[in-house]
A and B are shown apart, each in its own frame.
Chain A
């Protein structure tokens, strides 16, 4: 081990060895003006990776000038590089008047006069050059000049903009974010053309160097919250950010809560709407999931289509989602409590049916419930992980064996199967709470099996107290319910018509609350009627 280290050191330049030792590039280290030295340095830092391409070339009237072009294979549009750099330098402009370069330096001279293409900049920092190359840019260095040209011609294979699987809609945009951050920012920019849309980039992750972009509307989003987000992101000192979920766990307010205080979406229209409400979006390179904060509890019950369809049915759906959340959290627990403690609360006819169904079931109600919940979670997970063609087999086995055969065999009561099914179906009505509610369900069943309704009530109390104590970037999680905000009630349990939603949600402390003018209610024009 030690031997290998020494040997490696021998083959390397001392600077490179230092960097590798520290596992960090010195931001101040400058490029040398000797071409070979630069190449050697870069080569020893990056190592003998097969995907890195060094292409030396000569140009000038007598081919006396040397240069090198460096890129990562597969990240660069080769055609663009050939067309815009190599061809002009080597073929078309044989007679480059290098003399004219003068004091400005070769790189600047070439960049200004010979390289076409839009995105390029100059640097004399080694770290910047290497990082750019690794991000997919093309670096060009010249003999006798300590400045490099960084030419942006990134092009790699990526997924096209597609309809996301997680947030399907009937009405509304079908675009979803992709893994490439530039495409994602462009999707946002296409929706918000405001000059005040800020897209501020930073790199997080020592090894992955992941680009993270904070998007918000200047003048609407609370500046303090924006600063807070930046501070929290800057604090992250980790080797890798592979998904926005990494970020979420580093910056959330209550890491020990089972409730999410930062939401995510992979739909540009959702993210745009949230940004327009004064929230902050965090886009991460490499994932279509964009983080959104501050996040309120009631947002779990709002869906994009609520705003795209007319308010009446949307309001009904809102109420349905609220009851669905309650049902999915409490149905198994209430069933256990009723069957084991509070039989008198069942209406007579139902009591007969339930008691007939329970007859001969070998397990007590709480065991039966636990088994069914366990099987259901298993089925769900299997359904997600299974290769799609086999997925069907899982559902058939699940439906037939668990639903039909288990009841026939008298292992599980039919009401329990119904309860499980209701719980399962309703848990998907509130997608962002599915995880939390699935977790809550189990303790509720335990409490119900110990002391019945009383236990459930105790559990609810604890959960409500906990929810009220949560903050999302300093914003009370339960607002506008607690603290109460009358204006925001228009968009909580019901969804009021858009023309009456005059204000942005004020509890997330937006700087400019006014969203639209006050008298937008459509009315028939009187003059037109007279005609």
Chain B
């Protein structure tokens, strides 16, 4: 074999490599429109309405920096299915949509009640969208939340994403991306929690001036078989998050007496949970053990909190408060008949045979099975000062 022949053969082998590539397509960046958020709604005519938030960037020469050069465009279209609606959207924009940089998916309340299976399916089936997109359920229409004009963050989707990222500051919202949703929805209980996005109303704890709309992400929507079945408030959400080991921080306020002004704030440093399953006459008995460490971060009394007996009492109250949050949440779960704590998953994973026996009867079992909550808590430190800023009287 001479050299030329050899070279040609090697080149041919290399060329064969080009057959290996799957789907590829050249699309220049400037021919794409970046989608930063998408909203799904159900119209009155039972049609799917898709709203996308597009980022329109203008060349840097026109504005000083790229941040201010970014504008948002909200496009909306309807169709008989989510994908048709998305395709119909292409008549509203000159460029192709670029989905990989999408950050949040907001689902309207009516659609959520009807079922979000097509949306989730689309997100899994198509190659562009990412499973790390945060899911949100809107109180009302999803579209209105995409139209929100943020003063601080230019890109609203980014703001929503960051709010969810900050979950650990309060732990009163749950964090669910598409992947996580699928894992939850496919668990034995088929229950998933998705954070709730809503506008603050005046009776709420947020101040609203005039016509201004303040978007808050707090609490959770409960999905059962991909359908919205109920809402959880902040405390109920945190109760569930304690059991699910998702609590990384947050404030628990403990009242020291009946008086409104006597309170102590404890910041959660660490919270761990353990679910113990016992069986009594083929019925599960569940013990939730919460182990938490906190530190005292604020107080309104004049007592010297460094005294062990006072600290011990606060600790007791603190543990009670957590237990209360969990039991309230449990009551809500029983009321909705949805096991969003994931007890069924635990039973299935640890006692699959026994689970098979109670599987068909799970809803009744869940409603009646005893659940005990044990909270073991510890206050690690009391901050940079010991007692009260005012001199203690006793």
Q: Is the CB of A399 closer than 8 A to any CB of chain B?
A: no
Q: Is the CB of B98 closer than 8 A to any CB of chain A?
A: yes
Q: Which of A50-58, A185-193, A229-237, A355-363 contacts B (4 or more CB under 8 A)?
A: A355-363
Cross-chain pair count, CB within 8 angstroms: 82
> How distant is the Cα of A354 from the Cα of B70 in the complex, in angstroms?
12
List CB contacts (< 8 Å) of B74-131 with chain A.
98, 100-101, 103, 128, 130
Q: Is the CB of A201 closer than 8 A to any CB of chain B?
A: no
Q: Say yes or no: A341-B24 contact (C-beta < 8 A), given A353-B66, A359-B30.
A: yes
List CB contacts (< 8 Å) of B5-19 with chain A.
10, 14, 17-18
Across-interface contacts of B24 in A (CB, < 8 A): 341, 451-452, 454
Q: Say yes or no: A355-B30 contact (C-beta < 8 A), given A341-B24, A344-B100, A454-B21.
A: yes
Q: Is the CB of B32 closer than 8 A to any CB of chain A?
A: yes
Q: Is the CB of A251 closer than 8 A to any CB of chain B?
A: no
List CB contacts (< 8 Å) of A439-492 with chain B.
449, 451-452, 454, 458, 461-462, 465
Q: Say yes or no: A351-B28 contact (C-beta < 8 A), given A414-B60, A454-B21.
A: no
> How distant is the Cα of A214 from the Cα of B99 in the complex, in angstroms?
65
Across-interface contacts of B60 in A (CB, < 8 A): 356-357, 359, 414
Task: State whether B30 touches A358 (Cβ < 8 A).
Answer: yes
Task: State whether B29 touches A365 (Cβ < 8 A).
Answer: yes
Across-interface contacts of B170 in A (CB, < 8 A): none
Task: State whether A361 touches B30 (Cβ < 8 A).
Answer: yes
Q: Say yes or no: A360-B34 contact (C-beta < 8 A), given A341-B26, A452-B24.
A: no
Q: Is the CB of B158 closer than 8 A to any CB of chain A?
A: yes
Task: State whether A410 touches B61 (Cβ < 8 A).
Answer: yes
Across-interface contacts of A348 in B (CB, < 8 A): 101, 103, 158
CB-nearest residue of chain A relative to B69? A356
Q: Is the CB of B358 closer than 8 A to any CB of chain A?
A: no
Q: How far is the CB of B188 from chain A (nearest CB, A)?
A: 34
Q: Is the CB of A339 closer than 8 A to any CB of chain B?
A: yes
Q: Say yes or no: A359-B28 contact (C-beta < 8 A), given A352-B66, A451-B18, A458-B18.
A: no
Q: Say yes or no: A340-B26 contact (C-beta < 8 A), given A356-B69, A458-B18.
A: yes
Task: State whether A359 touches B14 (Cβ < 8 A).
Answer: no
Task: State whether A339 touches B128 (Cβ < 8 A).
Answer: no
Q: Say yes or no: A356-B98 contact (C-beta < 8 A), given A339-B29, A361-B30, A458-B18.
A: no
Interchain CB contact (< 8 A) of B27 among A340, A358, A359, A465: A340
> How distant is the Cα of A459 from the Cα of B61 in the complex, in angstroms?
36
Task: State whether A340 touches B21 (Cβ < 8 A).
Answer: no
Across-interface contacts of B21 in A (CB, < 8 A): 451, 454
Across-interface contacts of A360 in B (CB, < 8 A): 30, 59
Interchain CB contact (< 8 A) of A462 among B14, B18, B26, B158: B14
Across-interface contacts of A339 in B (CB, < 8 A): 28-29
CB-nearest residue of chain A relative to B98? A343
Q: Is the CB of B201 closer than 8 A to any CB of chain A?
A: no
Task: State whether A458 touches B29 (Cβ < 8 A).
Answer: no
Across-interface contacts of B10 in A (CB, < 8 A): 465
Q: Is the CB of B269 closer than 8 A to any CB of chain A?
A: no
Q: Is the CB of B256 closer than 8 A to any CB of chain A?
A: no
Q: Is the CB of B73 closer than 8 A to any CB of chain A?
A: no
> How distant is the Cα of A175 from the Cα of B98 in the complex, in angstroms?
59
> How distant is the Cα of A353 from the Cα of B26 in the complex, in angstroms?
20
Task: State whether B14 touches A352 (Cβ < 8 A).
Answer: no
Q: Is the CB of B252 closer than 8 A to any CB of chain A?
A: no
> How distant is the Cα of A336 from the Cα of B61 in the complex, in angstroms?
22
Interchain CB contact (< 8 A) of A344 among B20, B30, B101: B101
Q: How far is the CB of A256 from chain B (nearest CB, A)?
A: 9
**A contacts, CB < 8 Å to B:** 339-341, 343-344, 348, 351-361, 364-365, 408, 410, 414, 449, 451-452, 454, 458, 461-462, 465
**B contacts, CB < 8 Å to A:** 10, 14, 17-18, 20-21, 24-30, 32, 34, 55, 57-61, 66, 69-70, 98, 100-101, 103, 128, 130, 158
Query: What are 27 A-to-B residue pairs whose CB atoms are below 8 Å?
Result: A339-B28, A340-B26, A340-B27, A341-B26, A343-B29, A343-B100, A344-B100, A348-B158, A352-B70, A354-B29, A355-B32, A355-B34, A355-B55, A355-B57, A356-B66, A358-B29, A358-B30, A359-B30, A360-B30, A364-B28, A365-B29, A410-B59, A410-B61, A451-B21, A452-B24, A458-B14, A465-B10
- What 9 pairs across the A-B complex have the smallest Cβ distances? A344-B100, A356-B57, A360-B59, A359-B59, A356-B66, A358-B30, A339-B29, A353-B66, A358-B29
